[in-house]
Amino acid sequence: MSFKIITDSSCDIKREVLAEWGIDMLSLSFRFTDSEQNYTEADMSIGDFYEAMRSGRVAKTAAVNTATFKDEFEKHLKEGNDIFYIGFSSGLSSTFSSGYLALESLKAEYPERKMRAVDTLAASAGEGLLVYLAKVKRDEGASLDELADYIESIKLNLSHWFTVEDLVYLKRGGRVSAAAAFFGNLLGIKPVLHVDNEGHLIPVSKVRGRRTSLNAILDKYGETAIDPKAGPVFISHADCQADVDYFAAELEKRYGVKVDHITDVGPVIGSHSGPGTFAFFFLAKER
């Protein structure tokens, strides 16, 4: 009996890459506060999105609703497929809840079909790394239940480390105070953040200078990775390729590890973290 893996756009893996992996994706949406037009990641290039943010436009995001999930899931159920939904952290969005409710509502209508959902408690390419590992496990022949149980068992080993270029975006989201954002930007203070076991974005430390924040993340990898000399490791970034190049070279020099996948921080995450966000993901002893 076949099953379909479905995720959402907050995984920050390009739709065409997911298609190669045999995985479907539903899109969260965003709009700028000076306009009523809604967009998905397919409607605007990532360069144009961050250029708009740098010009001062403020973006707001919206979760996928239950009806949209239900339509997508039912399409596959009618084709005779079971469903595995792997979703965006419930600590950051209502998207997973909508997907879960959609599956629950369909169970009575399709009692012969198997449906599972896992809240990754992850964001950006952290969610994307779990989606990738699900694809690998499926290709190895895992059943739907084996696959869902596997992702559930490792999701709290999925480590996220972030830093941002401009604190104003964290201020808008209530992560730092207005005063901390102002003086932090003035003094070149860069926060190092991670996603905790409840799927929330949490500031961990503050360092001075961008390069220092990247080196702090490299140190965290060496301290906490299950095996620092083995992957997979993913990077996502918001229009800061030079930082990616530096980090990838240092990662290989220090630990002998090459980055498995580099992707853009999409509009869903980027709306809240801003251009210049850098994020690194790997399997750790604990988050």
Q: What is the mean pLDDT of residues 24-40?
A: 96
Q: How many CB atoms lie within 10 A of CB 67?
A: 10
Residues 183 and 252 reside in one and the same domain: yes
Residue 183 banded pLDDT, cuts 50, 70, 90: very low
pLDDT in tens, 45-77: 999 999 999 999 999 999 999 999 999 999 999
Q: What is the mean pLDDT of residues 202-224?
A: 91
In the predicted model, is pLDDT for residue 167 greater than 80? no
- The domain boundary, picked from 155, 179, 214, lies at 155
Cβ atoms of residues 98 and 206 within 8 Å: no
The tokens of 212 are what? 């220092």
Residues 132 and 183 reside in one and the same domain: no
Q: What is the mean pLDDT of residues 214-242?
A: 96
Q: What's the one-letter identity of residue 26?
A: L
The tokens of 73 are what? 């899931």
| CATH number where 107 lies | 3.40.50.10170
Share of the chain above pLDDT 90, in %: 84
Residues 82 and 177 reside in one and the same domain: no
Write down the pLDDT at residue 142.
Answer: 96
Of residues 277 and 165, which shows the higher confidence score? Answer: 277
Cβ atoms of residues 237 and 262 within 8 Å: yes
Residues 142 and 178 reside in one and the same domain: no
| Domain span at 89 | 3-155
Give the three-state DSSP class for 281.
strand
